Amino acid sequence: MSKKNSTSLGTEPISKLLIKQAVPASIGILVMSLNMIVDTIFVGRWIGPLAISAITVVIPVTFFIAAIGLAVGIGGSSVLSRALGSGDDDKALRVFGNQITLTFLVSGLLAVLGLIFQDTLIEFFGADDSFKDMALTYYRIVLYGIVMLAMCMMGNNVIRAEGKPKFAMYAMILPAIGNIGMDYILINVLGYGMEGAAWATFISYAICFAFILWFFIFKSELRIVAECLKLKRKVVSEISSLSGVTLARQGVISVLTILLNNVLISYGDALDVATYGIISRMLMFALFPVIGVTQGFMPIAGYNYGAEKYARVRETINISILYAGGLALAIFIVIMVVPDFFVSWFISDSNANAQAVTDNKILLERTPNALRWVFAATPVIVIQLIGSAYFQAIGKAVPALLLSLTKQGFFLIPLVLILPSFLGVWGVWISFPIADVLSTIVTGYFLNKEVKTKLAVQEEG
């Protein structure tokens, strides 16, 4: 291995280290979410509101396949961080090699199946006749490049586990810039519509993949070793036990998105699906600093837990909650005060299509209040995010899995199934803050118990 950067995770002051880890992660997430925002703005303004609905129903399958890479990346990087923390470089190399193989094989298989059953899946995801053709056009092209995205998501988490967050940030910034540029050329200049939007996304995946590959060949302290690419049962089992946490969470999110699309079509119409499409992008965009702190927290907690520096683990938890909580409160205030400002980004008053103009007016009427409800419990969600991330970082797969599923799986999905039958579409939006509060209470209980008992005992030992 080359000179190690990961040792700083166990020596530098936690506040300084968290900022060093979280700021690049936050910037990367910001740029990536801006990419999604701009992509949606372009299709909404240049193609029409139903194009937003089309992209929204495609997201669950592409999101789930790409989440294979995210899951293997986060789960494997938890093992990798602890291996680096304990000085076991050979294990780190084996884990990294198996991460590459697992991501490629599983995401490739799912991509092939997704293309074979594309018509059935698109209908299942909630597409109706008004935008099904647009959804299929986008879906086919994006799926051609989804394996590259899965590999990028895996590699990005490994880069952070090495203690090189700036490179992880670059890996998100470069494809985002490429996608925005290609969107403008292919949609606005060349007039390729949904096909142009899809090819722009495909090209962005290729840019990211090229950068990740370059990093691991020339900059990483890890190496791509042919022998380590061969799957080993013990290594795969350790990776999978923790990857299952992320995969289950992302799988539940995909199921939730499918459910939301279908419930919104049943109790509302295609424009309610477009409203959710806008809100889902705003969730990632607005919460980028909170998610950045969570991602910065994980390698620090995992490394110090592996190095048996438990006092630093407790300090990392406390500081991460403090920083993320302050950021979440600021986000909450902005969304409550000016939701119309954000919604107006996606709407064009100059669209020549009369139907599109009418649809835009309806969208502008519906979306701001829905946005307020979805963000209503934002100040408390940091406990749920940091709590579930902590158990995953230290390798406790079962509590990490259960806590990561509390919001979407245990609370939000049942609420979305029940409340709309009494309250209509409004029941969908108020389900979000209720699920946030309930999941925070559950996670806070278990995190507090862990810190006051097991971590305290280990410190004394």
pLDDT (tens digit per residue) in 158-194: 887 777 778 888 887 888 888 888 988 998 888 888 8
Name 438's Cβ contacts closer than 8 Å, sequence gap at least 6. Answer: 406, 407, 411
Judged on CB neighbours under 10 Å (0-12, 13-18, 19+), 131 is buried
Higher pLDDT pick, 169 / 246: 169
Q: Helix 49-85 to helix 381-393 angle, to the nearest 10 degrees?
A: 40
Task: Give the pLDDT of residue 375.
Answer: 93
Residue 354 confidence class, pLDDT cut points 50, 70, 90: low
Judged on CB neighbours under 10 Å (0-12, 13-18, 19+), 47 is buried
Residue 2 confidence class, pLDDT cut points 50, 70, 90: very low
Chain position carrying tokens 């909630």: 126
Angstrom distances, CA of residue 438 to CA of 13, 62, 260, 377? 33, 29, 20, 10
Task: Give the pLDDT of residue 350.
Answer: 56
Over 50: is that where the pLDDT of 1 sits?
no
Residue 439 confidence class, pLDDT cut points 50, 70, 90: very high
Residues 446-460, mean pLDDT to the nearest whole number: 71
Whole-angstrom Cα distance, residue 48 to residue 234? 51
8 Å CB contact between 111 and 172: no
Over 90: is that where the pLDDT of 278 sits?
no
Higher pLDDT pick, 130 / 406: 406
Task: Give the pLDDT of residue 20.
Answer: 80
Task: Give the pLDDT of residue 377.
Answer: 92
For 182-192, how does the pLDDT look when each residue is reduced to its tens digit (9 = 90+)? 988 998 888 88
Residues 265-274, mean pLDDT to the nearest whole number: 85
Over 50: is that where the pLDDT of 323 sits?
yes
Task: Give the pLDDT of residue 352.
Answer: 53
Average model confidence (pLDDT) across the chain: 82
Task: Give the pLDDT of residue 210.
Answer: 94
Higher pLDDT pick, 99 / 53: 99
Q: Which of 367, 291, 264 is nearest to 40 (CA)?
A: 367
Task: Give the pLDDT of residue 175.
Answer: 85
DSSP character at residue 188: I
Percent of the chain clearing pLDDT 70 (strictly above): 90
Could you count the other beta carbons within 10 Å of the beta carbon of residue 16?
10
8 Å CB contact between 388 and 246: no
Highest mean pLDDT among 28-32, 252-256, 275-279, 309-313: 275-279
**Joined tokens for residue 250:** 């992302």
Higher pLDDT pick, 397 / 292: 292
8 Å CB contact between 44 and 134: no
Task: Give the pLDDT of residue 365.
Answer: 83
**Joined tokens for residue 458:** 């280990």
Over 60: is that where the pLDDT of 459 sits?
no
For 215-238, how does the pLDDT look when each residue is reduced to its tens digit (9 = 90+)? 988 887 777 777 778 888 887 887
Determine if the pTM surpasses 0.75.
no
For 360-377, how does the pLDDT look when each residue is reduced to its tens digit (9 = 90+)? 778 888 889 999 999 999
Task: Give the pLDDT of residue 3.
Answer: 44
Residue 455 confidence class, pLDDT cut points 50, 70, 90: low
8 Å CB contact between 26 and 291: yes
Task: Give the pLDDT of residue 6.
Answer: 58
Judged on CB neighbours under 10 Å (0-12, 13-18, 19+), 116 is exposed
For 64-99, how does the pLDDT look when each residue is reduced to its tens digit (9 = 90+)? 787 788 888 877 777 777 777 677 777 878 888 888
Highest mean pLDDT among 101-105, 155-159, 227-231, 291-295: 101-105
DSSP line for 224-255: --HHHHS--HHHHHHHHHHHHHHHHHHHHHHH
Task: Give the pLDDT of residue 11.
Answer: 65
Residues 279-304, mean pLDDT to the nearest whole number: 82
